[in-house]
Chains A and B, each alone.
Chain A
Amino acid sequence: MKKWLQICGQFAVIAALFAAVAAFADWPRYRQTPQGTGIIMLSFVHSADRRAECRRLTPEEIAKLPPNMRRVQDCPRARRPIYVELNVGDQIAYRATLSPTGIAGDGPSRVYQRFVLPVGEYDVAVRMRDTPRSDGFDYERMDRVALGPDQMLVIDFRPEAGGFVIK
């Protein structure tokens, strides 16, 4: 009898420990963003033009190259940085010059930024410059958006769609 009581006690302790583990398997709940807010996500990948145009090599330069690596043009791989600006309402939410990725600087520039905002309507303006120009923008989009609770509004850049896309 005592042995059975002991076994029952052992089982009760194990079951209680396991129940505690099961309880913490999904409790307490975690809230990532405050209630009554939504997210505007600025996220895109874009490759600007190369920093320099291809240049025709002179016959002397070609002659200096190893025979198996001779080419007529020298095309620098590095790309230009892009400049991005995001205005929400009359505030500048984001402004950055984004360098190209990759060790040789020949990859696309990328941006991935989230902005947690209270639910409501906003005037959103997103602009990008990917050419050597120093003023003005190559791409621009302005829109009035309604941000709902927990909504994820993504601002993407799709050249095939003509520029910025808000969805």
Chain B
Amino acid sequence: MKAKVHVTLKPGVLDPQGKAVRHALGSLGFSGVDEVRQGKFIEIDLTETDAAKAQEHVESMCKQLLANTVIEDYAIKILE
């Protein structure tokens, strides 16, 4: 199975990189960009065949390493 993990900054946590990207988009002429938040996308190939177990495994990976839950949220998608 495959796991797709999005790690994003929690709402309210300052994201200076996102801000810089927003400014750069503005100077390229893209108007109407209100806010940019930057995060990480992680793809994991798993040998596990049970979706619920895979979800559980990846959940624990997120908590222990992939995300720092002081400042980051994570979202997991398990695919066949």
Do these two chains interact? no
